[in-house]
Amino acid sequence: MAFFMLFLSSNFSMLNVQNISFGYHKDRVVKNINFSALAGENISIIGESGSGKSSLLKLLYGEYDLDEGSILWKNKPILGPNHNLVVDYPFMKYVSQEFNLMPFITVEENIGKFLSNFYPKEKQKRINELIDVVELTEFAKIKVKYLSGGQKQRVALARAIALEPEIILLDEPFSHIDNFKKQSLRRNLFKYLKETNITCIVATHDKNDVLPFSDRMIVLHKGELIANDKPKELYNNPISPLVASFFGEFNTIQPYGILYAHQLQVVDDSKIKAIVKQNYYNGNHYLIEALLSDNIVFFETSHSLEIGQKVCLKIDKT
């Protein structure tokens, strides 16, 4: 029976967002959005600034009242402030960009704030585990007010998963964290969420935050859902320049359509001819800006090219 219940929970939608719309005033910032999420699924919400990413997360959390539609978790409605005096669903946690930490107590006290005091040894073990996940062991006894913005963000993440919610909502969860810590932190956090079967909805503008970890990506544009698919499908078949721009430098070349910079290669001869305008060093390659007819195009090479040099390009999508 236990196996059967686990099978059910892992294959049926836990979160159902049904035709929701919302506006702060007359203009709607979220328009007729539908999607669902399975237990333990990682869904990223991407889009330009002002596309409605943060507003959608707040609606999922019950911070606002819907104008239309419904949000269900296990077929039970998530309702806004008109129905709840305090927004507090025990199965859900939300990490905003403000953190909402307690500055005058330590890192470990913040993380363990809502854990039971009846079992102090188990509580401390749990705190230590979470401090390790967010890589703050050496700061455990430090008061939060002395931490950097990135360190505070890591404390907020640890506190949110302390009680193992069924679903967690993350709004730009790595925006304050420097690259020295960001890469390992992302791996640790999303690995932990998968291992504990926590559904995760994360809003971000940075593909590196989510591309290796997302089961699905939702693309918002002006409050509307314009794509909902696996990352590999969206990457390989971008439906618009907006989608392609999330993944990297791209070109729109007629009649070939959307091409990423790495899909153009320098060859000895071809019909596609361009003039080099600029070189940009990117570590393992150079990004070359060139003029093709009257349009700017980008492609990649292993070395810099001479400004003004004429090159022939071929398309390689393999």
Does the pTM surpass 0.75? The reply is yes
Does position 100 have pLDDT exceeding 90, yes or no? Answer: no
What's the pLDDT at 26? 79
Q: How many CB atoms lie within 10 A of CB 32?
A: 14
Residue 316's pLDDT band (cuts 50, 70, 90): very high
Per-residue model confidence as pLDDT tens digits over 12-56: 789 999 999 999 887 899 999 999 999 999 999 999 999 999 999
Q: Over range 294-317, report the average pLDDT.
A: 96
What's the pLDDT at 179? 87
Cα separation, 64 vs 79, in Å, equals 8
Residue 318's pLDDT band (cuts 50, 70, 90): confident
Strand order in the sheet with 13-23: 28-38, 13-23, 68-73, 76-77
Pairwise pLDDT comparison (209 vs 2), residue with the higher score: 209
Does position 7 have pLDDT exceeding 50, yes or no? Answer: no
Does position 201 have pLDDT exceeding 80, yes or no? Answer: yes
Per-residue model confidence as pLDDT tens digits over 46-94: 999 999 999 999 999 999 999 999 999 999 999 999 998 888 899 999 9
Question: In the numeric block, which tokens belong to residue 175?
Answer: 């925006």
What's the pLDDT at 11? 63
For residues 298 and 289, the answer to whether their CB atoms sit within 8 Å is yes
Give the dihedral sign, CA 45/73/193/137: positive
What's the pLDDT at 233? 96
Mean pLDDT of the chain: 93
Decide: helix, strand or coil at residue 313: strand
Cα separation, 222 vs 232, in Å, equals 24
Spatial CA neighbour of 216 closest among 33, 43, 56, 53 = 43
- Give the chain's domains with CATH numbers: 12-237 (3.40.50.300), 249-315 (2.40.50.140)
Task: Report percent pLDDT > 70 for the chain.
Answer: 97
Does position 6 have pLDDT exceeding 70, yes or no? Answer: no
Per-residue model confidence as pLDDT tens digits over 230-282: 999 999 999 999 999 999 999 999 889 999 999 999 999 999 999 999 999 99
Give the dihedral sign, CA 156/21/51/24: negative
* DSSP code string of 162-197: TT--SEEEEESTTTTS-HHHHHHHHHHHHHHHHHTT
Which residues, 6+ apart, have CB-to-CB distance to 157 below 8 Å? 95, 134, 170, 173, 189
What's the pLDDT at 88? 84
